[in-house]
Structure 1
Amino acid sequence: MALVKKGSRLITVDGTTYRWRLRGRPTYDQGLVRSPLAYAVEHAEAPGTTLVVTTDQPHLSNWYGAQGSPILPGQVTDSIRTALNDSWTPESPGSSFHLDQSAGFVSSH
């Protein structure tokens, strides 16, 4: 399933263009700081398998005011390269590829 284009951003990594997006509003668990921020990445021209990256920080719009920091393009680039090295094939159809970078996330509960 392709990402919604509204609110997504393009990024070029090693000559390939990807589209990435993070959810504007937190999920219920993200709002309660029970689960960390996650964002999705796909190949911009031939979307196939979506990369879902779980970070080690809370969603910026959480309901408890837990401090987080914005996701920067450099972080997205590093995550894409890591996923590609871990066998993510962005142009091939299939279920989501999950990259867990949540080590160090501290839940509020």
Structure 2
Amino acid sequence: MDTTAFCTLKVVIDKEIVGYGALRNGNYLTHLFISKHCQGKGIGKALLTRLLETSTESEIDLRSSINAASFYENYGFNRIGEETEFNGIRFVPMRLIRF
């Protein structure tokens, strides 16, 4: 990914990449993935926290998978539109407003 537009982070445990996240232009979360066997251990929250710390933007947008929407809501993101489908992929548009 273009390092001038993206901040990317990975989580490695025992030489295995178990998490990956990317923030574009400081205001759009494009990727946040955690290996299935590592979900529910706080890795996603830690990765998201670290990515957001790299940005000074007051609004961060993302397209959440249907299954991850509650994760983002627990973090403070709000739904800003209805569930939508694009190229066969369902998602919920969400936004975090920081003061």
Please state which band the TM-score falls in when normalised by the shorter chain: under 0.3
Considering fraction of residues, name the structure with more helix.
2
Q: Which structure has the highest strand share of the two? A: 2
TM-score by length of 2: 0.28
